Structure 1
Amino acid sequence: MFSRSSILVVGSLVWTVILSSPSLTADLKTPLPVKAIPQAVETPWKVDIVPYFWMPSLNGTSTIKGHSTDVDATFFGDIIHRKIPKELFGLMTGFEARNDRFAVLGDFVYLLLGASKGGARSITFGPIATLGAQAELDTTLKMIIAELAAAYEVAHWGSPFGGMGSSTALDIYGGGRVWWQQAEVSLGLTAQLALVLPRRTFTISGGRAVAKSGDVAWIDPIVGLRLRHQFSPGHELTLSGDVGGFDVGSQFSWQAIGAYRWTFAKTHNVTWSGLLGYRALYVDFSKGSGDTLYEYDMLQHGPIMGISARF
């Protein structure tokens, strides 16, 4: 058996050998590796999604199968109080993705609108006759308007109009606007109407004469300018305008939008803002001739309101 003193001597010799070995000493002094904690990478893109509601009035002419209807309908006076409330619906969403000076802009609108009596004032049967609103005239429009454009900030400067952090920026943009429409006009049958009604372009349904356009679609190129003014952080005014058509899709179109946005909440990485403004959109489109003529020469204009989520 080993004595206590011999065990101590052997242990001292072993420890001396370990300490005298450079490789072992280095291993003992090397700290254990620490697992790296992944860091969140901030994207340079800022994205805005803006669900909103547009309440447009209609002023212009809608022509279906060669029959022109004069429309002068206010949203709150003639459209929203229409006899058939179910024929009023809207779905709108705006979109913007920005990276420094470059941005991608998008907008989608689906509208189902109708006007009757005071809103749809008269209908013309080509050279045959014209009937006024007393003919129980109804006009229904269903449409999709979709926009996609690329924008570039050409100027940015500090502005004296506002508080700390006030600035103004100017964007130029270009892209396309897609239109899709279905239109319908109907009249209550009367003895007077039966004498002048062209049966080749109208169908009789439930005591009414109905003309339908079918699907009509076209694409307009657009170019425009947009002014963005920040009064102070969280308070921004945007003014934009564009022109388009140029006989590529429609003969001509223009649009003007003014909107004020203010921040009311921030949650996690999302900034929530309210939006109030006004939008006007005009287009002059025609296709076909005679009994196949479809024309939409109309100004749609009215207030907009919505909520913006920026992240």
Structure 2
Amino acid sequence: MSGATARDLAIATMAAFLCGPAWASDLQQLNAIPAPVLASGPSFSVTSYAWATAIDGKSATLPPLPAADINLRFRDVLKELNGALMASAEMRSGRWSILVDGQFSQVTTGGTLSGPFFSALKLRSQNTTVQGSVFYRVYEDAVLALDVGGGIRFWNLNNKLEILPSLANLRIDHRESKMWADPIVGARLGVTLAGPWSLTVAGDIGGFSAGSRLTWQGLGSVNYAWSESLTLKAGYRILHVDYRDGRFLYAVTQHGPVVAATYRF
């Protein structure tokens, strides 16, 4: 694997897992069958999910290295993943709901370099995202449920590039870390169908140059209420972010099918 390919792949893999909780957050706000807004007490839910994302865009997260074009399928992204930890929880009371979710992931990739001075490169990418949001249910009947709200999504990217020596005793270690916060506003619409089936359509937009220049996402899912406590979901999601700070560039679009399971108690 060439140095450029290894770097592009690690950057793309990082993007694949950076914003996963945002998708779970959107879906878990709406039940397969809308909950009564005047429920006697608060309800809680947790969501686990998987997103088979492809990634397109441009990234320069290790300046002074130049920006790299990214065009990777899900199978390419999955190869370099070391592991990921994800959690998302939501509390709803009446028309109001509060959401907190977070994620950490790490990928490591490398490649062989030609020439007598360096033998190989290794790239380790760590990323963390934490989001807090408040939503309000503005409309609900037997078929439709609409939530609107907003919050803040925190991003942190931490990269380390290591170029190993060969014949000459030369070694290069380069680190780059960026953290920013994006204000987000969004809406979610739930539609109850026949029996245990329902639909969810959701989207949000944010950044507004307060953190990133712009970030937005959209998703749709078909939901099946397996029981009163468990809902299974399948759909499609697209997420875009454009963050720039000097020579640091992170402008990518992630898109692909998603599956999820939400448990309520």
- RMSD of the alignment, in Å? 2.9
1:156 to 124, 140, 154: 140
- Give 2:136's aligned amino acid: Y
Instruction: From the CA coordinates, give the structure whose radius of gyration is larger.
Output: 1
Higher mean C-alpha displacement, 137-146 vs 238-247: 137-146
**Aligned residue for 2:70?**
71
Cα deviation code 1:125-167 (max 9, x no counterpart): xxxxxxxxxxx99876432222211111112244xxxxxxxx1
Structure 1 runs not aligned, ≥5 long: 1-41, 118-135, 159-166, 186-202
**Aligned residue for 1:92?**
86
Cα deviation code 1:62-111 (max 9, x no counterpart): 112132111111112x223x3xx4x3433333332222221113332333
Conserved in 1, the CA contact under 8 Å of 2:121 and 2:163?
Answer: no
Aligned ranges for residues 9-20 of structure 1 at < 5 Å?
A: none
Conserved in 1, the CA contact under 8 Å of 2:152 and 2:183?
Answer: yes
- Give the number of the structure whose residues are more often strand, by fraction: 2
2:217 to 255, 260, 267: 255
Residues 261, 96 of structure 1: alpha-carbon distance in 2 compared, 3 angstrom cutoff: farther
Residues 260, 116 of structure 1: alpha-carbon distance in 2 compared, 3 angstrom cutoff: farther
Aligned ranges for residues 235-274 of structure 1 at < 5 Å?
A: 235-265=197-227, 271-274=229-232
Shift of 1:279: 2.4
For 1:75 and 1:206, locate their aligned partners in 2 and report how far apart those are by CA, in whole Å. Answer: 32
**Percentage of pairs with the same residue:** 27
- Give 1:70's aligned amino acid: D
Give the TM-score, by structure 1 length.
0.60
For 1:217 and 1:97, locate their aligned partners in 2 and report how far apart those are by CA, in whole Å. Answer: 27
Cα deviation code 1:168-194 (max 9, x no counterpart): 111111111111112356xxxxxxxxx
Question: Which consecutive aligned stretches of 4+ in structure 1 deviate over 6 angstroms post-superposition?
Answer: 114-117, 136-139, 208-211
Give the TM-score, by structure 2 length.
0.70
**Aligned residue for 1:205?**
164
Conserved in 1, the CA contact under 8 Å of 2:163 and 2:173?
Answer: no
- Give 1:296's aligned amino acid: Y
Conserved in 2, the CA contact under 8 Å of 1:226 and 1:238?
Answer: yes
Structure 2 runs not aligned, ≥5 long: 1-38, 112-119
Aligned ranges for residues 1-311 of structure 1 at < 5 Å?
A: 44-63=41-60, 64-66=62-64, 67-76=66-75, 78-80=76-78, 82=79, 85=80, 87-113=81-107, 141-158=125-142, 167-183=143-159, 204-205=163-164, 212-232=174-194, 234-265=196-227, 271-287=229-245, 289=246, 293-311=247-265
Conserved in 2, the CA contact under 8 Å of 1:220 and 1:250?
Answer: yes
For 1:70 and 1:45, locate their aligned partners in 2 and report how far apart those are by CA, in whole Å. Answer: 46
Residues 280, 213 of structure 1: alpha-carbon distance in 2 compared, 3 angstrom cutoff: farther
**Structure possessing the higher relative contact order (Cα contacts under 8 Å, 6 or more residues apart):** 2
Residues 233, 43 of structure 1: alpha-carbon distance in 2 compared, 3 angstrom cutoff: farther
